[in-house]
Amino acid sequence: DIMLWVIGKWLSKEKKIGEGVVATVMSNKALEERLMSEDIPVIRCPVGDRYVLDAMRRSGALLGGEQSGHVIAGDFVATGDGLCSGLLFLTACRVLGEDTSTLVDRFGRYPQLLRNFRAADKDEFMRRGPIEEAVENAVRELGDLGRVLVRPSGTEPLVRVLVEARDDVTLRSVTEPLFEIMAREENPDEQERSVEVAPR
């Protein structure tokens, strides 16, 4: 996210940003805030290089990437390349005069918690009544101060849950009941056994 922020500022200054920056739904809200404060539009897309590239082509954005570190800069390379991303980032820092030792603090990242839950039938798991209710309660509690993202993994039998909030206290108060309910639904038989053997 920080690499996208810095490279985005540099490409915008060079008039090579196109129609903005593509970021996935997993990218931190701080990225959106930092870029929009520079009048750089942010386009959200699903997780995956192919979705990033597709959104770039459809929107006309010349920069996109994921939290995993994959950065695609349309004028330079059409896929995520670690060496190219590193060179672009360092070039951007040099041109903009960025102090890399203070980037993290200045970025102002929102606290995030990501947890995976095992589910043979991911769609059925996400549709369960207790889970839908718990997610709705978490979204309601966060309001405009954060977000809850529930999505099936595209590669594993997992449901990934990302919770993002303005501060750690709010994050913990939202995730603890949510994750407890989802863990109970993940394997109810295991939950029953753990209750039976719990010390008195």
Q: Is there a single domain that holds both residue 84 and residue 164? A: no
pLDDT over threshold 50, residue 20:
yes
Q: Is there a single domain that holds both residue 24 and residue 80? A: yes
Per-residue exposure over 14-23, b if at least 16 CB sit within 10 Å of its own CB, e if not: eeebbebbbb
Instruction: Work out how many domains the chain is built from and give that number.
Output: 2
Which one, of 147, 152, 154, lies nearest residue 178 by Cα?
147
pLDDT at 200: 28
Compute the C-alpha angle 39/43/138, nearest 5°: 105
Q: Is there a single domain that holds both residue 53 and residue 40? A: yes
Between 74 and 18, residue with greater pLDDT: 18
Domain holding 84: CATH number?
3.40.120.10
pLDDT band at 188 (very low <50, low <70, confident <90, very high): low
- Return the percentage of the chain with pLDDT > 90, whole number: 74
pLDDT over threshold 90, residue 95:
yes
pLDDT at 186: 81
Q: In what order do the strands lie in the sheet with 63-65?
A: 42-45, 21-24, 63-65, 71-73
Tell me phi and psi for residue 55, to 5 degrees: -65, -35
State how far the alpha carbon of 73 is from the alpha carbons of 56, 83, 136, in Å. 10, 12, 37
Q: Which residues neighbour 71 within 8 Å (Cβ) at sequence distance 6 or greater?
A: 3, 4, 7, 63, 64, 65, 80, 84, 85, 88, 89
pLDDT at 80: 76
Q: Is there a single domain that holds both residue 8 and residue 102? A: yes
pLDDT over threshold 90, residue 199:
no
**Rounded to two decimals, what is the model's pTM?**
0.80
> Which of these ranges, 52-66, 169-183, 185-199, has the smallest mean pLDDT?
185-199
151-166 confidence digits (pLDDT tens): 998 889 999 999 999 9
Q: Is there a single domain that holds both residue 24 and residue 91? A: yes
- Return the percentage of the chain with pLDDT > 70, whole number: 93
pLDDT band at 82 (very low <50, low <70, confident <90, very high): confident
pLDDT over threshold 80, residue 190:
no
Q: Is there a single domain that holds both residue 81 and residue 62? A: yes
What is the rounded average pLDDT for all residues in the chain?
Answer: 89
Between 78 and 66, residue with greater pLDDT: 66
pLDDT at 194: 26
Residue that is last in its domain, among 90, 107, 124: 107
pLDDT at 187: 67
* Range of the structural domain that residue 101 is part of: 2-107
Domain holding 126: CATH number?
3.30.310.50
Q: How many helices (H) and strands (E) does the chain have?
A: 9, 7
Compute the C-alpha angle 41/46/47, nearest 5°: 110
pLDDT at 67: 86
pLDDT at 31: 96
